[in-house]
Amino acid sequence: MPLKFDETYTEGITKIEPRDVAYAGELGYRIKHLGIARRTEKGVELRVHPTLIPHKRLLANVDGVMNAVLVKGDMVGPTLYYGAGAGSLPTASAVVADIIDLARSLDCQQSVVPMQGYNRDSIEEIAVLPIGEVETSFYLRMLAHDEPGVMAEVSTTLAEAGISIEAMRQYESVTDDGYVPLVMLTHTITEQVMDETIAKIEALPRIKGSVVRLRMEHLN
């Protein structure tokens, strides 16, 4: 299928703080900015966003100027393609390759190397799954007032939405008014249900500000 840029969900890293990197590490995860394309029974997921992945996965250990592409095949299973994705020479190589592809297409109806890596005669029209219908696990960080019952309120709100908690940690106070960071990892749930639940958590009187939410991928 052709890549549909206008239907691809994108999210940057502006909401991530250094403590999120530290908390994720303590829980056995690393944060990577991933582009994800996954075919499901409902449609194809096309999304780009910061993602928690287990620190033991090869993809979690791709650092610096290096990039990697993880491909999971029906028969071969997961394979990883790894190499430099930044710097003068790697960037120049990619630009020149694009120019050559365009030049080849000037004198023929179809380029020698099909544009975007597919043959236009064999395109399959597949629906892109709206981000609200995508199912993932989540990392949640919020500021909760340090008093009895707050954790129970948050847990109850999640439970009422059918969201199971995988892990929960409370950290030392970082504010002068008695609020502490509360971090949770959840099991899989749809994005829409999580958005609705986060709105309910933020409305709780003993929760301060917005809930930071990051998606998780276990790459099984």
pLDDT tens column, 2-49: 778 999 999 999 999 999 999 999 999 999 999 999 999 999 999 999
| CA dist., res. 12 & res. 50, Å (int) | 7
Domain-ending residue, one of 77, 100, 122:
122
Residue 175: C-alpha distances to residues 143, 144, 181, 204 (Å): 9, 11, 9, 18
The reported pLDDT for the residue numbered 6 is 93
Query: What domain range includes position 105?
Result: 88-122
Strand 29-39 versus strand 44-54 pairing type:
antiparallel
DSSP string, 131-176: GGG-EEEEEEEEEEESSTTHHHHHHHHHHHTTPPEEEEEE----ST
> Can you say how many angstroms the Cα of residue 65 is from the centroid of all Cα atoms in its chain?
20
Domain-ending residue, one of 96, 122, 148:
122
CB atoms within 10 A of CB 185: 21
pTM for the predicted model, two decimal places: 0.86
Residue 94 lies in a domain: yes
Whether 142 and 211 map to the same domain: the answer is: yes
Instruction: Give 152's contacts (C-beta < 8 A, 6+ positions apart).
Output: none
Whether 197 and 157 map to the same domain: the answer is: yes
| CA dist., res. 163 & res. 165, Å (int) | 7
Task: Give, as one character, the DSSP assignment of residue 116.
Answer: G
> Looking at residue 142, which CATH number applies to its domain?
3.30.70.260
Structural domains in the chain (count): 2
The reported pLDDT for the residue numbered 111 is 47
Whether 152 and 178 map to the same domain: the answer is: yes
Cβ-contact 127, 154 below 8 angstroms: no
Which residues of the chain are under the pLDDT cut of 70?
108-122, 174
Report the SS3 class of residue 188. coil
The reported pLDDT for the residue numbered 112 is 53
Sign of CA dihedral 26, 68, 50, 159: negative
The reported pLDDT for the residue numbered 116 is 55
The reported pLDDT for the residue numbered 173 is 72
Whether 208 and 136 map to the same domain: the answer is: yes
